[in-house]
Structure 1
Amino acid sequence: AKHKEKQPKESKENSSKQVALFSHLEIPKGANANSPKDIHPAVLVIGLQFADFKICGANARCIATLTAFKKVIQDYKTPDGTTLSRHLPTHLSPQIRYLVNSRPMSVGMGNAIRHLKLEISTMDIDLADDDAKRLLCEKIDNFIRDRITVADRVIVSYGLQKIQDGDVILTYARSSVVQALLLEAHAKGIQFKVIVVDSRPRLEGKRLLRRLVDAGISCTYTFLHAVGFVLKDVSKVFLGAHAFMSNGALYSRVGTAMVAMMAKEKNIPVIVCCETYKFAEKVQLDSFVMNEQGKDEVLKPFYRNPDEMVNISTTSTPKAGLLDGWLHKPDLKLLNLLYDLTPSKYITTVITEVGMIPCTSVPVV
């Protein structure tokens, strides 16, 4: 009874701390122990990892999702009176819902799941269940190999043509394919320097910086607010992508648009590395209509220590007390958007596994 009495107050406080302009964005419910009983253990595990940002990055999330679904398919048994091609999509639906509740699905994950459902729907209904499951697992492995793993290698081979001796390359946050490209360029003996630009609260660039420095690449690390200062030495900008919209706009980690716009203003080439499975069929014109908020910012804040949002120190321990009691300050709200949109006019070229293309060619690939 006490719990029921508190709920309306919590709900009211929850809504009052949302920024009105972004109140339409759904806050993830989070993975919890009260999940439906038909959720596969492999899906439960990655749902918790997604919710806690233990697995982040479009490629890593997509591979983790498909690998988990492969285990779901291997353990699946078709009920009597139906067929695998008709019942398996129904069995997968709660698994997908659970993952969406943990964290909104990325564009690449959505495309991969649609591809899997298409493969299931076109299966021969006379095929034995074991053969059908083995074939579906092979299709999943082929998708991961062809659209992600091999695609990244091809993108790296194309990207090497854009890096020359003496280049100063700027990159923002951390992209797995940009990281692979820079490491490969260094392994080929190309002499270049890297400027890693980063931002709070995730500080993803630190992981990239660590890998590059360990490989022996000369690096500079700075925050987003200093990007205008460091651009004077930059010869090229390499960026990763969360998705590309059909109007050629880049949907990526928040802050990407600022980096691209400032680079374009100084006539520095902006090169984006992106696999074609991340291409979306929809059009997006701004970062307001569709976006993602950091994990449950209100009563269970993404920032268990909210000082992480405003701390400018490069150490992992923020100065205490900057935002103490922010939940009880009616005029203070924290907004943690994860993505922004970069218009196509600020992007020089897109490197994909099918070649280097302009943004205007995205909808025809």
Structure 2
Amino acid sequence: MAPPPSLPVQNPSGPHHDSSRPPLKAQKEMTKAERRELQERQRAAKAAGKTPGQPSASAQAPKKPNKNAEASPKIPSAAPKPKDAGRSMAAHEPAPSHQRGLRIFSHFGAQKRLSTIKGDIHPAILRLALQFSEFKITGANARCIATLNAFKTVIQDYVTPPNTTLSRHLMTHLSPQISHLVAARPMSVTMGNAIRQLKFDISKSSIDLPEQDAKNELCKSIDDYIRDRITAADGIIEESCCKKIKDGDVVLTYSRSSVVEKVLLAAHAEGRRFSVVVADSRPLLEGKRLLSVLSRAGIQCSYLLLPSVGSIITEVSTVIVGAHSIHGNGAVYSRAGTALVAMMAKQHSIPFIVCCETYKFSAGVQLDSFTKNELGPLGDTLTPYPLAKPREALLLANEAHLEILNPLYDLTPPTSITAVVTEVGIIPATSVSAIPLALYRLP
């Protein structure tokens, strides 16, 4: 069998390949210099094969339309801003309003100006809210009594709309009144307990009673609450606490409490000879009013500010103070500075007595005075001091980088309290939660 004819093998370098050149080696067998030379020759041959006026293949290929590019509109590039543009804009922006209080104290109830009125507010509530916001009515008992008396006026002027009942619609009518008072100043524990009792009395009102009779019954229940829970309770506390004051005692009291004032006046009326040291602090300086009342009654008094208590604490026989409220764990929530006086009294083994009505008891628990508090007015820090410079030059309220904060209350731990005098007896502070009347667990 004849062998197949041999086919001519073409040189891979092309027909114009120079046979004088040595055959190309495989790239694996080349050195770096040879591979670099080969790449340069290939680039030169590729560049020589292109015509100068002819576009490349990639340019000749039609471009596919980009749907995303057509759908999205072209966003013009932002013009470059000069360097001083930010400064000029910041200079023309209005400065933020000066807010009172640092950020960490923003949850404190601050003094507010009532600029807007929401809802149908009774004139008696408007007047009372203005007095609250300006601190013309202070003290837990005074605020509670003023609130209940204002509600009596609101109830008497109330007219039940047609197709409804007083027991259902009166609560809707009182809600904006309460909200307006809270907007003026945070609600106290005494006000909250009294309003809760008033709502309970309204819910019990019979729908068969004539409207005027039902309103008279509600006003009578308000009067009974003031008489039983405040006036009569103060009388019982007055009798119990008077027995703790003896001849020759030096009684220290802090700020002003209406029930403590009654106790001291009653002890003096019984013929006991004692002296009173009134400690006070800014910004309200409520002790001045107590000092004037006791001085007019003929009681020997001394007056000093809170930082000076340490210099006379060794001469004190008993410390008697009031309270804004008492929490379920026995902590006393009272005027700021009370905890300091209690700490000094405990350090020197001096009895620390708190006079408090049971309607001031709260079922809640508070561990410090930072969780909940209220900011008082700025006050005048220069009143009792002789001034060598004009008063306007010494005012601190207009300083740009100074914030003046006056928390109104602090928390006294039950371990610093000797006894709590209430209308149900003298009890330790840790037994507050055991009084059913205080927690509204009536049978």
What TM-score do the two structures reach when normalised by structure 2? 0.74
Please point out which of 142, 150, 154 is paired with 2:224.
Answer: 142
Shift of 1:230: 1.0
- Checking the alignment, whether the CA contact within 8 Å between 1:28 and 1:101 is kept in structure 2 is no
Larger Rg, first or second structure (1 or 2): 2
1:192-341 equivalence runs, <5 A:
192-295=274-377, 302-303=378-379, 308-309=380-381, 311=382, 313=384, 320-321=391-392, 323-324=394-395, 326-330=397-401, 332-341=402-411
Structure 1 position 30 matched with structure 2 position 113? yes
- Provide the secondary structure at the position in 2 that maps to 1:284: coil
Please point out which of 144, 150, 154 is paired with 1:72.
Answer: 154
Give the corresponding residue for 1:93: 175
Cα distance between partner residues in 2 of 1:38 and 1:225: 47
Shift of 1:23: 1.7
Cα distance between partner residues in 1 of 2:396 and 2:209: 61
Give the corresponding residue for 1:352: 422
Give the corresponding residue for 2:186: 104
Instruction: Report percent identity of matched pairs.
Output: 56
- Provide the secondary structure at the position in 1 that maps to 2:216: helix
Q: Which runs of 5+ in 2 are unaligned?
A: 1-92, 436-443
Shift of 1:43: 1.0
Cα distance between partner residues in 1 of 2:277 and 2:94: 47
Cα distance between partner residues in 1 of 2:295 and 2:288: 10
Cα distance between partner residues in 2 of 1:166 and 1:65: 40
- Checking the alignment, whether the CA contact within 8 Å between 1:243 and 1:251 is kept in structure 2 is yes
Gap change, CA 1:165 and 1:314, over 3 Å in 2: farther
Shift of 1:213: 0.6
Give the corresponding residue for 2:431: 361
Give the corresponding residue for 1:19: 102
Cα distance between partner residues in 1 of 2:417 and 2:320: 10
Gap change, CA 1:9 and 1:132, over 3 Å in 2: farther
Cα distance between partner residues in 2 of 1:160 and 1:314: 36
1:41-80 equivalence runs, <5 A:
41-80=123-162
- Provide the secondary structure at the position in 2 that maps to 1:283: coil
Gap change, CA 1:289 and 1:51, over 3 Å in 2: same
Give the total of aligned pairs: 342
Shift of 1:44: 1.2
CA-based RMSD of the aligned residues comes to 1.9
Gap change, CA 1:9 and 1:262, over 3 Å in 2: farther
- Checking the alignment, whether the CA contact within 8 Å between 1:245 and 1:279 is kept in structure 2 is yes
Shift of 1:41: 1.2
Give the corresponding residue for 1:299: none
Cα distance between partner residues in 2 of 1:325 and 1:188: 47
Q: Which runs of 5+ in 1 are unaligned?
A: 1-7, 296-301
Cα distance between partner residues in 2 of 1:136 and 1:39: 20
- Checking the alignment, whether the CA contact within 8 Å between 2:109 and 2:373 is kept in structure 1 is no
Gap change, CA 1:328 and 1:231, over 3 Å in 2: closer
- Checking the alignment, whether the CA contact within 8 Å between 2:320 and 2:353 is kept in structure 1 is yes
Cα distance between partner residues in 1 of 2:157 and 2:345: 50
Cα distance between partner residues in 2 of 1:315 and 1:240: 32
Q: Which has the higher contact order (CA 8 A, sep 6+)?
A: 1
Shift of 1:27: 2.5
Cα distance between partner residues in 1 of 2:236 and 2:193: 20
- Provide the secondary structure at the position in 2 that maps to 1:292: coil
1:29 partner amino acid: K
Give the corresponding residue for 2:203: 121
